[in-house]
Amino acid sequence: MANNSKKAQDKVEEVMREKKRGTLRSSSGKKVTSRKQAIAIGLSEARKAGAKVPKQKTAGKKKATKKSSR
């Protein structure tokens, strides 16, 4: 987490502890089991709290495959 502020790192650590205890819930209320999802929740909460966190990476559009004209 080299690009994140100390506040953001602390928030992610806190969320990871919640995940390990089994108390972390997603916004839909389901229990979080994925490590990546837990990190995303921590960074999201840190953003809302005003911490310096890089922008979210968005999924790029898939390129349409070229069809060879025969």
pLDDT in tens, 7-47: 888 888 899 999 999 999 988 999 988 999 998 888 888 88
> Which residues contact residue 23 at a Cβ distance below 8 angstroms, ignoring those fewer than 6 apart?
none
Please give the Cα distance from 51 to 7 (Å, whole number).
6
Q: What is the pLDDT of residue 5?
A: 84
21 phi, psi to nearest 5 deg = -75, -20
- What distance in Å separates the CA atoms of residue 14 and residue 39, rounded to the nearest whole number? 10
The ranges assigned to domains in the chain are: 6-48
Per-residue model confidence (pLDDT) at position 1: 47
Higher-confidence residue of 13 and 54: namely: 13
* Cα distance between residue 15 and residue 58, in whole Å: 22
pLDDT at res. 55: 78
